Structures are given as structure tokens and as C-alpha cells.
Structure 1
Amino acid sequence: MRARKAWVLMALVLVVPVAAACAVPRPEPSERPEPSERQEPSGRQEPSVRLEAELVSPTDITLRWKRRDPGAAGHVIEFATEPAGPYTILGFLPPEQTSYTHPDLMPRTTFSYRLRPYYGAASAPVDVTLGGGPYPEPDPRWAEPRVLPGGSPGTRPVGSEGAAPTGLKATVTQADGVAFRWADQARDEEGYLLEDRPAGRPGYRVTAVLAPDVNAFGLVTLPEERHASYRVRAFRYGPPSDVVQRTTGDDTPSPTTEESSP
């Protein structure tokens, strides 16, 4: 996940823990079609993907999967160091991505992994250009994830027609700050995703994970986001994949053996 000041709000923002401190390489962006508005089937569900794991070095594990749900908006990769969890999110991935490397791991440790699809349509995007001001006097709480009063609660299940957030509005509050607000249309979301696409990048990526019912949030941007498009998505998780486990090796370098003189 990306390092930014907004992640200081992690305890308030995240629905589940995110491995912000892990050295995780960001996948190459790629364009993808908008996910279809799809209702999750009720009842017991079979995993939509099958996960495989390979120890590619003593402390690097590569995950691969072949099956995918064409109706999913993306996938969430998670890990745990105890068989029963708790699981920590490594990243939200675009639906066409089929591999992920978890690097620089603790040696002699067993890691468990699972992959979950998530569903839900995104709002219409808004374009933001950061300039030189002047800026309005911001609300002191502009960057906090909030539930603004006066909005009507959503009534549509995630995945159904009309459940995507509406009325997304972006206000530049400072040289590197953007405040977002939107209307909640979903009744059963497990959270909201704020996604962005800086100019020159072909695909959107998740930049913040918000709790259910939140309809306002402020983002402290990165330099690459001076010109960017943003959208927000109400989402629900699908069934997890099978759990795979790998145990890392010993990262201690082998001692150098000095050859004795004849």
C-alpha cells in the first residue's frame, strides 16, 4: 500500500488491517473494463479462484491464481502468520492481475494466504487539478472519514442497479489536499473504496479503504496526483479462495570458506 499522510488515519479508516509497513511492490497499472453491476448470489458460495504459492527465494513468496470471477471489481490478497488468522490485507488488486509477490519476509515463518473477490459498481469519476490557490477556509475535520448528516441512507443492495455512490464532489482544500463527499445509495456495503488514476496512468487503483456509511473523506495527495481522476465504490467481499501456506527459509548468508594454502 502507498505511503501517504492519509494512512495516519488508519485506525479510523480501514475496515480491516492493512500491511502498510510491508515492502510491497506496486503492480504495473493496466486498463480494465468497468465491472458489471452484479448481485452476489445468496447462500453458500464456492471460491471463485484457486490460489497457489511458491517460495521463490528464502524470504520471498509468489502467489498465482488462474480462475477469476468476471463480475468482480477486483481481488483482495491477505496473509496471516497464524493458521486461524487474523488476516491482514496486502493489497486491492485489479481483476485481470493473476500474480503477486510478497517480499522480504521473516525467516523460518509459516505464512498463510487467501484471495477474496470484491463486488460493487463505482461512481462517475471526477477530475481534480491542484493549483496555486487561493483555497477556501477548510473545515478542521476535512480529512477525517465522516458520515455527514442530512443524507438519506442507501436502500439498494451492493451489486444491484443504482447502488453505486452518486454526486461525488471534490474540493481542493490546500496545495496537496482534496476533500471528497458523495451520496450513499447502498444499504449493505462492507466499506467504501476511494480510487484514483493520475494523469498518464491507464488504470484506477485503490488509495483509501473506508468504513461503511462514510460519505466524506479528505486525501493528502502525492506529487504524481496533481492531475488525477477519482471515483468511489461501495463494496462487499465475496467468498475467500482456498488457503495456501509456505514456510520461509533461513536468510543467513553462508559463511565463506577460505581455501588453505598448499
Structure 2
Amino acid sequence: MIRQALAAALVLAGVAGCAARHAATPAPEGLTATLDSPVDITLHWPDDAPGAAGRMVEFATQPGGPYTTLGFLPPHQTSYRHPELLPETPFYYRVRPYYGGTSGEVSVAVPADAPDLTASDPQWPNPRAVAHPGVTTAALRDDPPAAAPSGLAAKVMTADGIRFTWTDHATDEDGFLLEGKPEGAPEFTPVEVLDRDIGSCGLATLPRERSAAFRVRAFRYGALSTVAYQRTGRAPG
């Protein structure tokens, strides 16, 4: 899940650095990693994936990985700052677009005195498949609207938890993104990353998500970029 993935990325965080600027390290196909300070790196890439729903950014500290997801970004974002890193450490980065259609939106308002319904479904937070016999299916690569999830429903399970269910129509998805837009937010952003063939999951809500709209996206990945490399410097101070 994306929150756990981002938390894992923060394990590599160190102290903030000063603002010494160094040359970018280019990779073929446009991905670059710039050392903005001894412990801050910014990535840049061209907006060259027409029709993409967004991009996934990931990093590793060894040439062959394993890679850790940093985030799923909006479609036209072309930079990402990775701050406060471990000093004197190699970092390898790559980005890839993702594609796919979304379900309809559901609006959820979690009351502060919401009853605890966990006894009725103790496994409600766990991502799981849900059978829908006879459902029509399609490939995201061929027909994104027909392959998009349908029937998204939300049920408040606790004062800080929501269960989502939907119907999966895709035959070639790499996974699903649960996307949220808190009240007053300008756009949807991913809040959970799920495996393929999933039709139910739970979300432990943040305070700003107690009144929000949600949707689910079946997605497939595009081609990986080449790898951009940068090494952090000595810890400042």
C-alpha cells in the first residue's frame, strides 16, 4: 500500500542539507537526477506519455534494486524532489507512466460517533478478491472505459475506517489505485495501491479524509525509463 511504501522510503531520510548545487546526472530518454544539496535530490523528466493517468516514481540504493515506490504522481508532473537522504549513499531512480480508467465517485462523511461494525466483518481492512459471476470484461490496453471498475460502494466501519467494494472488469491490470479527494482539495490523489484482481479493501482515514470523495482505478504500467544515478555527499554540519 502506498502509505506503507512511502513510510519505508523515509527510513532512508537523514538530516537536511545546505543549498550547494551540483550538475545533473543525465540518463537516456530524458530522466535526470540533480543533487541540490549534499542530501537532497530532484528528478526531472519530459512530459512524453500521451494519455497517461500519471507516473510512478521509485528508487533503490543498489544498481539492481530492490526498488521502493516514492509516489504515484499526476499526469503532467515532470519533477520530484527526494529530500533529506542518507549521506554518502548511491541512489538509483526510474519512472514509468501508468494508464487506466476509473470508477464513478462516492462521497463519504465519517461521523465522529460512527458505530464500530468490525464484528460483522473482522477482515474488512484486508484487500481481497470479490467474485462477480458473469461480469463483462475487457482489456485496459484495448478499451479503457469498458475495463474500468464499476459499482464502487463505501461503508463506514469505524470512526476512522471505511470499507470499499467494486466490480473488476479488467483482464490485464497490474493493480488498482484507490484515489481520494478530501473536501476542498483540487484533485484526486492515490491513497492505496492494490494488487490485481482485488475487489474490496479498507482504508484507515486520515483526519482530512473524514469528508472526501473516492474512486478506484484499474491501471497498467507503461515502459520503464532508463535509470538515473546520483550519490549524496557528506552530511552537512
CA distances 1:58-106 after superposition (whole Å, capped 9, x unpaired): 0110111123312000000111111122221110000121111111112
Contact 2:105 2:215 in 1 (8 A): yes
Cross-structure match for 2:25: none
Q: Does the aligned pair in 2 maintain the 1:68–1:95 contact within 8 Å?
A: no
Q: How many residues align?
A: 217
Counterpart in the other structure of 1:189: 173
Q: Distance in 2 between matches of 1:189 and 1:154?
A: 15
Structure 1 residues not aligned, in runs of 5+: 8-17, 25-48, 254-262
Per-residue deviation, residues 191-238 of structure 1 (Å, max 9, x unmatched): 111000000001111000111101000111011111100000111110
Match of 1:133 in 2: 114
- Which structure 2 residues correspond to residues 174-213 of structure 1 after superposition, within 5 A? 174-213=158-197
Shift of 1:150: 4.3
**Structure showing the higher strand proportion among its residues:** 2
For residues 67-216 of structure 1, the aligned pairs below 5 Å read 67-131=47-111, 132-134=113-115, 136=117, 138-152=120-134, 155-159=137-141, 160=143, 161-216=145-200
Q: CA deviation at 1:173?
A: 1.0
| Match 1:225 to one of 183, 205, 209 | 209
2:132 and 2:167 in contact (8 A); partners too: no
Q: Which one has a larger percent helix, Structure 1 or Structure 2? A: 2
Q: How far 1:154 sits from its partner (Å)?
A: 6.1
Taking only the aligned residue pairs, the percentage that are identical comes to 49
- 2:218 aligns with 234
Give the TM-score normalised by structure 1.
Answer: 0.77
- 3-state SS of paired residue (2:153): strand
Q: CA–CA distance in 1 between the matches of 2:36 and 2:235?
A: 13
Q: Out of 54, 64, 70, which is 2:44 matched to? A: 64
| Kept in 1: contact 2:59–2:68 (CA 8 A) | yes
Q: Retained in 2: the 8 A contact 1:154–1:187?
A: no
- Please state how far the C-alpha of 1:135 moved relative to its aligned partner: 5.3
Report the AA paired with residue 164 of structure 1: A
Contiguous gaps of at least 5 residues in structure 2: 13-28
Q: 227-236 vs 128-137, which deviates more?
A: 128-137
Q: Cα gap change, 1:105/1:233 in structure 2, threshold over 3 Å: closer, same or farther?
A: same
What does residue 18 of structure 2 align with?
A: none
The one-letter code matched in structure 1 to 2:195 is: A
Aligned-residue Cα RMSD (Å) equals: 2.1
Deviations 1:240-259 (A, max 9, x none): 11211011101152xxxxxx
Which is greater in Rg?
1
Distance 1:83 1:135, change over 3 A: closer
